[in-house]
Structure 1
Amino acid sequence: MNSYTKQQLALRNGQDKPEIWIAYKGMIYDVSNSRLWKNGKHYEHWAGQDLTEELTDAPHTEKVFEKFDIVGHLKE
């Protein structure tokens, strides 16, 4: 499985590159096909970031990530 830096993840924000990726607990998910992530934004959250800390404010659990493909690991 590929590994990506935070800088590489940041480019997958739906604007700099067409991919829309987010990280959660060290895994990077492709949310490009989600209607809720149009243009790289989901409510007050932006793609291309590690959203691990922000999940506590979400109205859903981490199970939401099960429907998205994992594209790699986030390098520390």
Structure 2
Amino acid sequence: MKLFTKQQLALRNGQDKPEIWVAYKGIIYDVTDSKMWKNGKHYEHWAGQDLTDEIADAPHTENVFKKFMSVGQLKE
């Protein structure tokens, strides 16, 4: 699996590049086609970030990530 830095992830925020990516538990997911992530924002969450610590506040479980293709791993 391809490794990406936090800086590379940050560029996939729906503003700087056309891709919209988020990370969860070290895996990066492509949410570009999700209408819930339009313009790189989903409620108070922004794309291009690691959302691992924020999932506790979500009205859904981590199973939501099963709908999206993983594109790589977040480099530590």
AA at the equivalent of 1:15? Q
Looking at structure 2, the residues matched to 7 and 48 of structure 1 have their Cα atoms a distance apart, in angstroms, of 9
| RMSD between aligned residues | 0.3
Matched position secondary structure for 1:32 = coil
Q: Deviations over 1:40-68 (max 9, x none)?
A: 00000000000000000000000000000
Unmatched 5+ residue regions in structure 1?
Answer: none
Q: CA deviation at 1:2?
A: 0.6
1:49 aligns with 2:45: no
Matched position secondary structure for 1:36 = helix
Normalising by structure 2, what TM-score? 0.99
* 1:65 alignment counterpart: 65
Normalising by structure 1, what TM-score? 0.99
Unmatched 5+ residue regions in structure 2?
Answer: none
Looking at structure 2, the residues matched to 27 and 10 of structure 1 have their Cα atoms a distance apart, in angstroms, of 14
- After TM superposition, what 4+ stretches of structure 1 lie above 4 angstroms from structure 2? none
* Percent identical residues: 78
Give aligned pairs, total.
76
Q: CA deviation at 1:31?
A: 0.2
Looking at structure 2, the residues matched to 12 and 56 of structure 1 have their Cα atoms a distance apart, in angstroms, of 23
